[in-house]
Structures are given as structure tokens and as C-alpha cells.
Amino acid sequence: MAKGPRKRAATKAEENPEEMEASPGEGGEEPVHASLDANQAKEGGDDYWDLSDDDDWGGTGGGGSRQSSASRHRQILRRSNIEIGVSFVCHLVLMCFYIFVHVYDATIFKRSKGVGFEGHFTYGGRWKYLTYLNLWVQFLYFFLCFFVDIMPYGATKVSFRKICDTVFCTVALPLPIFVAVMFWGIYAIDRELIYPTFLDNTIPSILNHLWHTTVVLCVLVELVVVFHRFPGNWTATLVTFGYSFSYMIWIVWVFTMSQAWPYPFFNIIPLPLLPLFFLACSFIGLFFYFLGKKLCQLRWSERHQVLAELGRKNV
């Protein structure tokens, strides 16, 4: 009598192996994903990525050990309500900060009546200055993050988070570091090559630091408070060289049209050496990408370790 049910069960397993594997058998265990999804709904918070498409992200063991490993992995990767709240406040504050920077910048620009900002009225306007472009990159990035934070959780939000990660890691993080290092480095050698003395009569020193100092502090706060998953190194290289050469082509075009460089130090670089200078700047930007990646791995070492255990790339 006992052979009949077992034979029928074996036949059903052969016909629908996936169905039998996904359903807990008599006296068996609950599927790992179902159990963890229930725990997630009960505990609150959200997953930073949609992990449900992984074939086996819970470990290689069987039974309780596999479920225990999966639960530990998801617990580490899952963002708590506190982390979500801190991330939201961080993005809101930094977005408002950059609104203040743009308003203050525009106020000083208007009050100066163009004195000290003569280059801003030539071909290309303010958009030929990397400092000004970086301010807009930072504002748009934190606005995007704030928008994603208030979105309801789902596949769309996960996709936008991945966009935020890529933008932060390849542009929003290395760009302000490059701006600050290049500006203050040249400033220390000869400030007349980057920020002539006469500008002190028009531009307050606090605005100069808002342009070239606080931008680094803001992205470091973002790196410490919010976990980001870095893209592949080849993707980062293509993006970094892409926007680097785009800017270089842009300022060469500006020079062609106006016969004036955005920054005075370009005048002392021989024209045949400019391509090498631009290439060197691209590699410096790429170096800051890898520096940011290393800092992220140090700050969020536990999550990176879990992702490495799961065999995920680009961590």
C-alpha cells in the first residue's frame, strides 16, 4: 500500500521537478526565499537590490544550514529602517545645501555686476568651467537620490538605485575630488594660474570654499552614510574617459571660437602637449574612482564580503 503514493510522488517529481523542488514536502522545510520574504515583511526595511533573481544566493549547504546562511546574507544586505531614514535625511540636507550654494552663487554673481566674472560672459558662459559643471552634477545627483528615496519600494525603485550607484561611483564621487585636488594643487604652486588675486575683491572666500572644498566633504558624507555598489572596472573606465574627453573637446571648441581658455594655466601648456595633459587628467580621474571604491570597501567591508561570498562581480 505504501509503494503507491511513493510511486505517484516520484512520477510527479519526474514530470514537474521545479514544482516539487519549490514546494515543501511532507515534513520538509519551507523554501528559503518564501521564509526570508516573510521575515523581511515582518521586520521592516527593504533590500538594497532585488535578490530574488539569483539561482542560489543563500549558500551551498542543504536544509537548515542553507536557510541559515541565506538569512544571514540577506540580513547583512538588507537596509534597516534606521539606515533608510538616515539616507533620506542625508540626501534631503545635501540637496538643500546645493540649492543654497546655487542661490548664493547667483547672488554674488549678480551683485558683482560682472566684475571678476568677465570670463563668464564670453563664449560658453559659465558652462565652460568644470567647477560650475560639478556644482550642477552634485545638485542633480542628490535630487535624483531624494526622488528615489520617496518612491514606493519595488522593481522601479531598485532600478533607479542602480542608476544612482553608477552615477555616484563614476561621476559624482571622483569629479569633485578631481576639481578640489587640481584647484588647490595649482593654487599652491601659483594661484595666478587658476584663481588670480583680483578675484578676492569680488568673490568671498566662503564662496571659493563652497566651490572647491565642501564638494569633497559632501560626497564623503554620502559615501559613509549610504552604501553603493560600484560598477565593473571597464564600465567605470569608459564612463570616466567618456565625460573627461567630452569636457576636453568642449573647452577646445570654446578656445577655437573665442581664442581664450577657461583657465589661465592652459596658456603655459604647449599646444602639442595638450592631448597628453588631457589624457593624464583622465587617468587621474580614474585613479579617484578606484580610491573611492577602496574607501567604500573599507567602510562597508561586511557587505562587500557577503557579496564576494555569493560570487557576485563588481563589488
CA distance 84 to 149: 8
Q: Do 294 and 169 meet the contact criterion of CB atoms below 8 Å apart? A: no
Q: pLDDT tens digits, residue range 157-191?
A: 889 999 999 999 999 999 999 999 999 999 999 99
- Separation between Cα atoms, residue 151 and residue 169, nearest integer Å: 22
> How far is residue 291's CA from residue 60's CA, in Å, rounded to a whole number?
33
What sign results for the dihedral spanned by CA atoms 86, 91, 96, 98?
positive
Grid cell, residue 164, equals 544612482
283-308: pLDDT as tens digits: 999 999 999 999 999 999 888 788 77
pLDDT in tens, 238-271: 999 999 999 999 999 999 999 889 998 999 999 8
Residue-wise pLDDT for 134-153, tens only, equals: 999 999 999 999 999 999 88
Cα 296 from Cα 41, distance rounded (Å): 28
Q: Are 110 and 190 in contact (CB under 8 A)?
A: no
The total of other beta-carbon atoms located within 10 Å of residue 172's CB is 25
CA distance 228 to 76: 14
Q: What is the pTM of this model?
A: 0.79
**Helix axes 130-149 and 81-112, enclosed angle (nearest 10):** 150
